[in-house]
Amino acid sequence: MPPAADAREISGTESGEAPAGDSALVEVAYATPAHQRIVTLAWSAGLTAREAVMRADLPTYFADLDEAWLASAPLGIFGERLVHPEQRELLPGERVEVYRPLHIDPKQARRERAARRPPR
């Protein structure tokens, strides 16, 4: 497998989009509550979303990740979840996002926050 061309840690204020002149690149993004990482890879025809995630070698940057989980993790492109990431061929300039599982249902989290709030 070819190594990642570039990896960077970005703050929440950076867009993480590839520069306009880098049309032959794709990006793989993964984030935790503490930080996020975008790995830039060289694009090649036929590269699928899942292959890009595996080539990004994210466990190098996140010790708690393992290859087995990444092989089946939910993926998306620019916020749109992929139904079949193993079949979705990437286009130059696209960003693949690896989605983490939710730790709590969003509705339940809202109820808990509302219960802690003082009455008005």
Domains along the sequence of the chain with CATH: 6-116 (3.10.20.30)
Per-residue pLDDT tens listing for the chain (120 residues): 444 445 555 433 333 444 455 558 999 999 998 889 999 999 999 999 999 999 999 999 999 898 999 999 999 999 999 999 999 999 999 999 999 987 788 898 889 889 998 887
pLDDT score recorded for residue 13 = 30
Confidence (pLDDT) at 7? 58
pTM: 0.71
| Burial profile 53-82: b = 16 or more Cβ within 10 angstroms, e = fewer | bebbbbeebbeebeeeebeebebbbeeeeb
